[in-house]
Structure 1
Amino acid sequence: MNWFLAKIVYRIICGEGDHTAQFDEQLRLIVASDDAEAFKKATAIGKQEEDSFYNKFEKLVQWQFINVSELYRIAELIDGAELYSRIEEKENGDLYTELVHKRAANLQLNGFRHFLQAL
């Protein structure tokens, strides 16, 4: 069996959808014998975890599975191995840097309680 990193993409629609398009990109670990099985499992997870609910304003919020946009086989689990990389381009580099520092501080203040959980 092999480990894969899959990017599962959802579209988030609130109410009639008359807002800026929102997407949730989730990185998921998948164990499978080959690429085809990993893609199939990631797709099944995406479909299974579609959701809809009403927010506090009584508007319907829908998480619609779009597809699996990326799939990488992880050859070996090595301490410090790079699993994913994405280059961000921001108009205000200083503001983005400040946001990264705030997120890191928040992790430290909350005692690193944000762990991946298998559902």
Structure 2
Amino acid sequence: MQWFVAKVVYQVICGKGDHAAQFDEQLRLISAENKTEAWRKANSIGQQEQYAFKNQKQELVEWRFINVPELVNLVELKDGMELYSRVEEPQDANTYMALQQMKATQLQEQKFLDINI
């Protein structure tokens, strides 16, 4: 068996879709005999995990599977190896950096919570 990292992409649509386009890009670890099997497994995951629900405003929120646009074979697993990289070009660099700092702080706080439990 080989290990692959697959990017599974969903479009997030709220209500009638009158909002900025939103997509969820998920990186999934896939075990498969070859690249074709890995793509099929990732595609199946994408299709199976589409879902819809009503938000607090009773609007339908849909996660529609788009496709598996990237698939990388992990030939060798090493500590600290890069699994994925993407260059972001946000409208507002300060907002982007603040969001990343906030997420990192939340992650660190969660780490300490897990230790104290």
User: Number of residue pairs matched?
Assistant: 114
| Cα distance in 1, alignment partners of residues 73 and 107 from structure 2 | 28
Aligned to 1:117: none
- Seen in structure 2, the aligned counterparts of structure 1 residues 73 and 113 have a Cα distance that, compared at 3 Å, is farther
Identify unmatched segments of 5+ residues in structure 1.
Answer: 115-119
5 Å-filtered alignment, 1:3-82, equals 3-82=3-82
Separation (CA, whole Å) in 2 of partners of 1:40 and 1:113: 38
Q: Aligned equivalents of 1:76 and 1:112: distance in 2?
A: 31
Does residue 90 of structure 2 align to residue 90 of structure 1? yes
More helix by share: 2
Once residues 49 and 9 of structure 2 are traced to their aligned partners in structure 1, the CA distance between those partners, rounded to angstroms, is 11
Give the fraction of aligned pairs with identical amino acids, expressed as a percent: 53
- Return the alpha-carbon distance in structure 2 between the equivalents of residues 94 and 17 of structure 1: 27
* Alpha-carbon distance change, 19 to 86 in structure 1, aligned in 2, over 3 angstroms: same
TM score, norm. by length of structure 2: 0.88
Gapped runs of 5+ residues in structure 2?
Answer: none
Deviation at 1:91, TM superposition (A): 4.2
